[in-house]
Amino acid sequence: MNFYIQQILFYTGIPFLVGKYWAQRKRFVVMFHGISTRKYDHIPHSAQPHLSAADLEIILQWIKPRFDILSPYEFFNTEKPGILLTFDDGFSNNETNALPLLESFQAPAIFFITMQHVTHPRNWLPATQSQALSYWSETSEVENSFAVDLFDGMNVDQLLRCANHPLITIGSHTLSHPFLTQSDPFTLAFEINESKRLLESLIRRPVDFFAYPTGDYNWTVMDAVKNAGYHAAFAVDSLELGSPLFEISRIGLYQTNFAYLTLKLSGLHRAPLPFINF
Ligand SMILES: [Zn+2]
């Protein structure tokens, strides 16, 4: 939504009042991606994560007094209103930058991991690869230090640290982050099943949750996720195909201004989620 419209709506007080109403009664799922240490001047901001650690801190500070931050257990097994936090892709910076903030706010979250850059942290995701390579120095490792912060996946040690952390639940985000609706049946099943199997063998606990890369799903994709044994799956925009547990909509937060946050979590941007259990 246009910034000025956000501001105007904000100052009417309507999102605030509606938000106050929903905060007491309903729940939302929020979606984040990479959380960088800082912004890098020599790289276009469009190629960097939307949020830095300082940005995430502002957002958590805004959320904490307004909503209960729910664990996945509370989200799926109680009717408690509040917000469930999710982080997609499994970037290294989720462990280095987001986890310490989640600890300080005592905020549970699900980390959805893309397997290819856990087993090979520099095997960047398709969307980041061309950006990363265009700023890559063949001669200076120092000049490449930005890559760890912006583009690398978390390595196996980082994954295990997150998996063993009481605030973090690990979910799957496929092996290689494909557009699942465009994948052939073999690839579709392999991406969904094998990522679960690999993650479970590494972290030695069940992986019950899945997030569709880029929110891309349809009936076939949803069936493959159900058949793989996941308990629930997260989309971005729910297509409302009739399986609410496997198409949970999420609200991406990409800015820190209070008008934006008030509006996005007011229930006006997206209707609050009903209680859904297994
Ligand atoms: Zn993703």
CA of 1 to the centre of ligand 1 (A): 22
C-alpha angle with apex 92: 29 to 132, nearest 5 degrees?
A: 105
CA of 111 to the centre of ligand 1 (A): 11
Burial class (CB in 10 A: 0-12, 13-18, 19+), 226: middle
CATH of 3-264, one of 3.20.20.370, 2.170.130.10, 1.10.340.30, 3.40.50.1820: 3.20.20.370
pLDDT in tens, 226-237: 999 999 999 999
pTM of the model: 0.90
pLDDT in tens, 171-227: 999 999 999 999 999 999 999 999 999 999 999 999 999 999 999 999 999 999 999
C-beta of residue 49 within 8 angstroms of C-beta of residue 94? no
CA of 173 to the centre of ligand 1 (A): 7
CA of 32 to the centre of ligand 1 (A): 10
* DSSP for 219-247, written as a single string: HHHHHHHHHTT-SEEE-SS----S-GGG-
CA of 220 to the centre of ligand 1 (A): 19
CA of 3 to the centre of ligand 1 (A): 25
CA of 127 to the centre of ligand 1 (A): 9
Q: What's the CA gap between 76 and 241, in Å, rounded?
A: 20
C-beta of residue 98 within 8 angstroms of C-beta of residue 53? yes
CA distances (Å), 58 to each of 38, 51, 191, 201, 257, in order?
14, 10, 35, 36, 9
Q: What's the CA gap between 33 and 89, in Å, rounded?
A: 6
Mean pLDDT by 10 residues, the chain (278 residues): 67 64 75 92 81 96 95 94 96 97 98 91 79 72 78 94 98 97 98 98 97 98 98 97 96 94 88 81
Provide the pLDDT for residue 2. Answer: 66
Q: Please report, for the chain, the start and end positions of each structural domain, with discontinuous segments joined by +.
A: 3-264
Burial class (CB in 10 A: 0-12, 13-18, 19+), 4: exposed
Provide the pLDDT for residue 227. Answer: 98
Residues near 131 by beta carbon (within 8 Å), at least 6 away in sequence: 43, 47, 151
Buried b (16+ CB within 10 A) or exposed e, 84-111: bbbbbbbbbbbbbbbbebbeebebbbbb
CA of 6 to the centre of ligand 1 (A): 27
3-state secondary structure of 99: helix
Classify residue 78 by its DSSP letter.
S
Residue (of 84, 113, 92, 83) closest to 35 by Cα position: 92
- The count of other CB atoms within 10 Å of the CB of residue 268 is 16
